[in-house]
Amino acid sequence: MIPFIGLASGVGAGDPRCGKGPLFLKEYLSLNADWRAMILPRPEIQEPLKQIELLNRELAEASADLTREETFFISIGGDHSCGVGMWSGVASALRPKGDLGLLWIDAHMDSHTPETSESGNIHGMPLAALLGRGDPSLTQIGDPYPKIKPENVVLIGIRSFETGEEEFLKSLNVRIYFMSEIRERGLDVVMKEALQTIAARTAGIGVSFDLDSIDPSFASAVGTPVPGGIHPDEILSTLSLLEAFPLLAFELVEYIPSLDQDLQSFHIIQKLLHCLSSSAASIPKQLELLLERNLGHSGPS
């Protein structure tokens, strides 16, 4: 069975209903899943940033434990602020063997800081925090170092962003595949290129998948829909590419069940997670081989 963990919180989003997504999926997904943890909100903590910090620290512990087991696992989040805890835990546990590579598949850059964000919503800040920029309560989860090097993260599907976060990522030379390039070259070409690039210099790869990366005409049950996104068939057809790479974990976020009246979004999620689960048997051996090749990597630089 595939290990699953969840964080059922929407505190970091403008629409907190996404916090119900993990609970809904745990109950109704038809998967052979081993749910190791379901982290729940702490309503007694009134300050949002403090609650998000504590929830993410708990998630980081769970993801670090599973990373040390060297088995592929899936995380289901509410809003994308959970990406801080998820990948901080993975990166910290992986660090003795090498660096983490990360595909960030999303309509948005999620690279604001408190200074550049107009809304103040923390689900727009997780990637910046993982790169070491933002509130210390988020950047130092797991260990005090940046969790990802700029050259080891790739953004895919971007089509909605603000100047502050774009300038930040460009200053670090982070590779961004906008939807215009994906339309021109094809998602399969882009995914293969991105995976090959980051696999060459990391000890393992993670995928953070925001449901709003898919065009809302197919998956509308999200809080921040943006037209012109990825077709679900494109995503499903490229998942097989992951089998050739050392995939550590997959994160899915921002699903709002109450907006999914026809369950169209749910069925896409079900297909996506079924594909990942069916290919997971080949992942541990590939991870083992890559880690052997990267034993010389250690600690942040």
Residue 301 lies in a domain: no
Our answer to whether residue 212 is catalytic in this structure is: yes
Annotation marks residue 44 as catalytic: no
- 231 as an active site residue: the answer is no
Q: Which of 108, 165, 215, 234 is catalytic?
A: 108
Phi, psi of 286 (to 5 degrees): -65, -40
Q: What is the pTM of this model?
A: 0.91
Say whether 108 is catalytic.
yes
Q: Determine whether 123 is an active site residue.
A: yes
- For 276, the token pair is 């990942």
In a domain, 298, yes or no: no
Look at residue 300 and give its three-state secondary structure. Answer: coil
The three-class DSSP label of residue 178 is strand
The CATH number for 129's domain is 3.40.800.10
Q: What's phi and psi for 89, nearest 5 deg?
A: -65, -45
Residue 219 lies in a domain: yes
The verdict on residue 212 lying in a domain is yes
Instruction: Check 80, 165, 215, 251 and give the catalytic one.
Output: 80
Query: Active-site residue among 53, 61, 79, 110?
Result: 110
Domain span including residue 280: 2-293
Provide the number of structural domains found in the chain: 1
pLDDT tens digits in sequence order for the chain, 301 residues long: 899 999 999 999 999 999 999 999 999 998 889 999 999 999 899 899 999 999 999 999 999 999 999 999 999 999 999 999 999 999 999 999 999 999 999 999 999 887 787 777 889 889 999 999 999 999 999 899 999 999 999 999 999 998 899 999 999 999 999 999 999 999 999 999 999 999 999 999 999 999 999 999 999 999 999 999 999 999 999 999 999 999 999 999 999 999 998 999 999 999 999 999 876 544 444 444 444 444 333 333 3
Nearest to 129 by CA among 107, 105, 162, 104: 104
* Domain annotation covers residue 146: yes
- Residues ≥6 apart with Cβ < 8 Å to 171: none
Query: Which candidate in 53, 99, 123, 260 is catalytic?
Result: 123
Please give the angle made by the CA atoms of 296, 299 and 301, to the nearest 5 degrees. 100
By the 8 A CB rule, do 135 and 114 touch? Answer: yes
Decide if 65 is catalytic: no
Determine which one of 53, 58, 61, 212 is catalytic. Answer: 212
Residue 282 lies in a domain: yes
Q: Tell me which of 53, 215, 251, 254 is the catalytic residue.
A: 254
Q: CA-CA distance, 227 to 126, in Å (whole number)? A: 22
Which candidate in 58, 61, 106, 165 is catalytic?
A: 106
d(CA 259, CA 268): 14
The Cα 145–Cα 74 span in angstroms is: 24
Domain assignment of residue 280, yes or no? yes
Kindly state whether residue 221 falls inside one of the protein's structural domains: yes
Tell me the chain's radius of gyration from C-alpha atoms. Answer: 17
The answer to whether 41 and 11 have CB atoms below 8 angstroms apart is yes
Give the separation between CA 194 and CA 187, rounded to whole angstroms: 10
Closest CA to 257 of 29, 79, 20, 28: 20
**Helix, strand or coil, per DSSP, at residue 162:** coil
- CA distances 46 to 11, 42, 57, 204, 259, Å, are 10, 9, 17, 37, 26
What is the spatial distance between Cα 25 and Cα 13, in angstroms, rounded to a whole number? 19
